[in-house]
């Protein structure tokens, strides 16, 4: 019998990446398909609150651990006139959303969303339209949201029933402006100049806001790298973050490449960081641009989606990109979260795209139930456990060569330590086995006394995903399990953990300095 593969993870209390920003566990609500209507908002639903928002979805959002929600897009924002979506609902007119070819009923807008976020204790992340609009409209929206009484747009908000400013801190300067699919698509110079002027005006309205410039829509864009460099050459002194978007899928059953998606994400982050730092170095600037990874997920973009331009013009919240996920997809989502935690120093903001129905961990039926997809569980556990600082682990593991990503390690790991008083605290360890065989992981922890008390494990499946709550519950019952405490390590010795094939594991416990 061949010897089982082994990996080593070294954890030391003094080797730290950086603090884990709670905004890393954000999500995304766009006016697409059923993400808003019959997803987040359904006045006739049995669980609807007095404002028309589904309580069952809000409860699952809370369980998911979402801290930040980006709104209203996404591609939708690039032909959105925000002023048309405020004020009395009965006076609002439906319009054609050009991005997803849907008649937008215009019943949920800025106030409805921001008040929902406030009630749920979620930080909003707003986007402004730099596709078909520009500087004045962007500054006006900041004034509407954040301004005090006595100015035009703030007084409009007050007249619409909201006296207190919303205090929105985080703002996106458009969306995917490098993409030819974007309404109002621009080249890097056009966008860079516009973003700089819009950002300048927005910060003159409210100097305390944070701004996100559009980065590349994916690492596969032909303009990747040069786009970031050019955009930041205009916006470096104005913005705080640059965006990243990335989606991954299982192509033609190539499980090894799919399970190695976290390596592709890691390389993407490193390349954007290098480009941003090069612009800063050229400018002799001490400022450090960080990343808002405000769209990431598993999305079967190539194999299941025909493209927005091929959608018929529809109304009444059509079913658009409602991917049904497997436990394999859940393991990959867990691995992508490992990558994000391991870049905590440069990725303070990240948004799982999206939150409800459209490529989402939460699904609903109109007038029916809401349920968790398999991708729900690794996000919820990571958001719950990843606290304090991300530790800089040293991982030694066998590798495998994949068709899409070249060599990828078979084991990935991340850890956080919430050492509140500087000596001990909660420890969380996240491990992924990308291999089809079990792997023994030797966790060495010099300088720390580690006690792991339990955890959760998600196993990849080999069955096709089937739509509906019954199948999702069946997958969870078969692939998700609660773990007891592994054998205890002693002193500054080693703790051994066995990882099941193609699995994501989250372990929790405590760690104290020796």
Residue with tokens 């991982």: 395
Task: Please give the biggest Cα pair distance in the chain.
Answer: 79
DSSP helix/strand/coil, 346: coil
Report d(CA 242, CA 240) in Å as an integer: 7
Spot the catalytic one: 176, 197, 228, 502.
Answer: 176
Task: Identify the bridge partners of residue 424 per DSSP, sorted by sequence position.
Answer: 512
Report d(CA 170, CA 123) in Å as an integer: 9
176 is annotated as an active-site residue? yes
270 is annotated as an active-site residue? no
SS3 readout for 75-118: HHHHHCCHHHHCCCHHHCCCEEECCCCEEECCCCCHHHHHHHHH
Spot the catalytic one: 30, 112, 123, 295.
Answer: 295
Residue 242: CA count within 13 A, CB half-sphere: 33
Q: Which of 468, 482, 496 is nearest to 325 (CA)?
A: 468
- From residue 433, how far is each of 335, 497, 508 by CA, in Å? 9, 11, 18
Q: Are 73 and 102 in contact (CB under 8 A)?
A: no
CB under 8 Å to 116, separation ≥6 — which residues?
A: 40, 51, 53, 58
Q: Which of 95, 1, 16 is nearest to 438 (CA)?
A: 1
Q: CA-CA-CA-CA torsion for 350, 356, 331, 393, nearest 10 degrees?
A: 20
Q: Which of 81, 220, 60, 208 is nearest to 138 (CA)?
A: 81
Q: Are 465 and 445 in contact (CB under 8 A)?
A: no
Read out DSSP for 215-267? --S-TTSTTTTHHHHHHHHHHTTT-SEEEEEEEE---TT-HHHHHTHHHHHHH
Active site residues: 176, 295
């Amino acid at each position: 019998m061949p010897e089982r593969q082994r990996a080593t993870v070294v954890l030391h209390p003094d080797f730290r990446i950086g603090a884990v920003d709670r905004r890393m566990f954000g999500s995304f609500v766009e006016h697409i398909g059923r993400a808003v209507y019959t997803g987040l908002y359904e006045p006739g639903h049995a669980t609807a609150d007095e404002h028309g928002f589904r309580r069952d979805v809000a409860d699952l959002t809370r369980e998911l651990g979402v801290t930040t929600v980006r709104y209203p897009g996404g591609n939708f924002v690039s032909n959105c006139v925000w002023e048309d979506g405020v004020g009395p609902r009965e006076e609002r007119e439906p319009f054609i959303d050009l991005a997803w070819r849907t008649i937008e009923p215009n019943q949920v807008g800025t106030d409805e969303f921001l008040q929902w976020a406030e009630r749920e204790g979620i930080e909003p992340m707003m986007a402004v339209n730099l596709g078909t609009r520009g500087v004045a409209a962007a500054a006006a929206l900041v004034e509407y949201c954040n301004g005090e009484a006595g100015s035009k747009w703030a007084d409009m908000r007050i007249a619409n029933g909201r006296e207190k400013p919303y205090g929105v801190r985080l703002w996106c300067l458009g969306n995917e402006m490098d993409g030819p699919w974007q309404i109002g698509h621009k080249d890097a110079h056009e966008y860079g100049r516009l973003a700089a002027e819009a950002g300048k005006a927005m910060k003159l309205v409210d100097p305390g806001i944070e701004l996100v410039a559009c980065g590349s829509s994916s690492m596969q864009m032909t303009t990747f790298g040069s786009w970031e460099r050019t955009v930041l050459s205009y916006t470096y002194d104005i913005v705080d973050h640059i965006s990243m978007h990335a989606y991954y899928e299982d192509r033609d059953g190539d499980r090894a490449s799919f399970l190695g998606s976290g390596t592709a994400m890691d390389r993407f982050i490193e390349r954007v960081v290098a480009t941003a730092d090069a612009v800063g170095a050229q400018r002799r600037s001490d400022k450090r641009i960080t990343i808002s990874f405000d769209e990431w997920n598993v999305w079967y973009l190539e194999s299941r989606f025909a493209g927005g331009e091929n959608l018929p013009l529809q109304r009444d919240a059509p079913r658009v990109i409602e991917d049904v996920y497997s436990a394999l997809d859940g393991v990959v989502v867990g691995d992508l979260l490992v990558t994000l935690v391991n870049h905590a120093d440069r990725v303070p903001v990240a948004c799982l795209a999206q939150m409800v129905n459209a490529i989402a961990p939460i699904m609903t039926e109109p007038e029916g139930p809401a349920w968790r997809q398999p991708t729900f569980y690794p996000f919820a556990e990571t958001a719950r456990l990843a606290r304090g600082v991300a530790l800089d682990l040293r991982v030694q593991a066998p590798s495998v060569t994949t068709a899409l990503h070249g060599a990828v390690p078979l084991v990935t790991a991340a850890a956080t330590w919430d050492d509140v008083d500087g000596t001990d605290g909660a420890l969380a360890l996240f491990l992924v086995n990308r291999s089809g065989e079990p792997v023994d992981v030797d966790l060495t922890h010099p300088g720390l006394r580690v006690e792991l008390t339990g955890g959760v494990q998600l196993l990849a499946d080999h069955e096709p995903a089937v739509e509906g709550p019954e199948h999702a519950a069946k997958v969870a019952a078969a692939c998700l399990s609660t773990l007891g405490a592994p054998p205890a390590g002693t002193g500054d010795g080693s703790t051994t953990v066995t990882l099941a094939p193609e699995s994501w594991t989250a372990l929790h416990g405590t760690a104290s300095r020796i």
